[in-house]
C-alpha cells in the first residue's frame, strides 16, 4: 500500500473498531482498496500513479459473499419460509438503503477516497457509494481473513443492526431488484379506472426491464401498485434458474 503512515494508522484503527484481528500489511492493503472509489482511482491512473485500483472488484466479490452469508442466516432463522419469502427478506437486508445505513454507522466516510468531482458533490453521502463500500469491505475481509471472518463481520456489523426484515414490502423490494438488475426503476401505469367517484377501482400494471411483470387492482393507486409489485416478485421468484433470470437482488450468490 503506497500511502502515508497516517493512512495506515487510520486503517489499522478502523480494522480494530470493526472487530477485525490485528491488521497486517495484506489486510490493510485490502481495506485501503475497499475504501477507494473508482473516481479517485481514475484520477490517479490518469496522473500515472500506482495507487489506481478501485474497490469495484472487491465490491463484486463482496456482493456474492454477503448474499451467501445472509441467505444462510435467513435459512437458519426462518425455517418455515418458502424460497420466495426468503428471497424477499434477503433483498431487504442487502438493499442499498440497508447497506448504506451500516456504512454510516461504522463511519466509513472519513476513510473513503473519492475523486475531486465526487468529493465536491458529497459522494461520501451517496447511498450507492456507501453500499458499494460495505460490499467491498466484505470482499476484503473474505480475501484477507477467510469466509468465517467475513461471516462474523457481517453478523456483527450488519445483521445485528438490520432489524426484522420485512417480507411484505413489495414495492421497495421490486425497486431494489430493478435498480440492481436494469439500472432503472420499475414503471407503473394506470390501465383502467372504474366505479363511481366514491368507490373507484384502479388497475395498474408494472413493467420491469421493459417486460410486463404484474397487474394489480385496488381502491387507491398505491394499493394497486403494491399488488402489481407483489405479482411481479412472485413471477421473478418462480422463474427457473436455467433461463438465466434472477430474482430480487441477492437471490443468486453468483451475481
Determine the Cα–Cα distance for residues 44 and 46; give it in Å rounded to an integer.
5
Answer yes or no: 43 catalytic: no
CB 67, CB 90: distance < 8 Å? yes
Determine the Cα–Cα distance for residues 109 and 131; give it in Å rounded to an integer.
12
CB 174, CB 232: distance < 8 Å? yes
Answer yes or no: 135 catalytic: yes
Tell me which H or E stretch contains 57.
helix 56-77
CB contact burial 49-76 (16+ within 10 A = b; e otherwise):
eebbbbbeebbebbbbbbbbbbbebbee
Of 38, 63, 157, 169, the catalytic one is 63
Of 59, 135, 176, 227, the catalytic one is 135
CB 201, CB 215: distance < 8 Å? no
Determine the Cα–Cα distance for residues 111 and 187; give it in Å rounded to an integer.
37
Determine the Cα–Cα distance for residues 49 and 33; give it in Å rounded to an integer.
14
Non-local (6+) Cβ contacts of 199 within 8 A are: 219
Non-local (6+) Cβ contacts of 26 within 8 A are: 144
Catalytic residues: 63, 135
Amino acid at each position: 500500500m503506497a500511502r502515508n503512515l497516517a493512512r495506515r494508522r487510520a486503517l489499522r484503527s478502523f480494522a480494530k473498531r470493526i472487530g477485525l484481528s490485528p491488521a497486517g500489511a495484506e489486510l490493510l492493503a485490502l481495506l485501503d482498496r475497499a475504501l477507494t472509489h473508482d473516481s479517485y482511482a481514475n484520477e490517479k491512473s490518469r496522473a500515472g500513479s500506482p495507487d489506481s485500483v478501485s474497490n469495484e472488484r472487491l465490491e463484486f466479490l463482496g456482493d456474492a459473499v454477503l448474499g451467501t452469508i445472509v441467505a444462510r442466516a435467513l435459512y437458519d432463522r426462518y425455517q418455515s419460509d418458502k424460497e420466495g419469502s426468503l428471497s424477499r427478506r434477503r433483498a431487504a437486508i442487502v438493499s442499498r438503503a440497508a447497506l448504506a445505513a451500516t456504512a454510516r454507522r461504522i463511519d466509513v466516510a472519513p476513510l473513503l477516497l473519492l475523486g475531486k468531482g465526487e468529493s465536491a458533490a458529497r459522494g461520501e453521502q451517496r447511498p450507492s457509494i456507501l453500499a458499494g463500500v460495505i460490499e467491498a469491505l466484505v470482499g476484503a475481509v473474505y480475501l484477507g481473513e477467510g469466509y468465517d471472518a467475513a461471516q462474523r463481520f457481517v453478523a456483527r456489523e450488519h445483521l445485528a443492526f438490520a432489524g426484522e426484515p420485512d417480507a411484505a414490502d413489495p414495492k421497495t423490494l421490486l425497486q431494489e431488484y430493478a435498480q440492481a438488475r436494469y439500472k432503472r426503476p420499475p414503471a407503473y401505469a394506470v390501465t383502467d379506472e372504474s366505479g363511481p367517484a366514491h368507490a373507484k377501482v384502479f388497475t395498474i400494471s408494472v413493467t420491469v426491464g421493459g417486460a410486463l411483470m404484474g397487474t394489480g387492482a385496488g381502491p387507491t393507486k398505491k394499493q394497486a401498485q403494491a399488488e402489481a409489485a407483489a405479482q411481479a416478485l412472485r413471477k421473478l421468484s418462480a422463474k427457473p434458474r436455467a433461463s438465466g433470470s434472477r430474482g430480487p437482488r441477492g437471490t443468486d450468490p453468483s451475481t
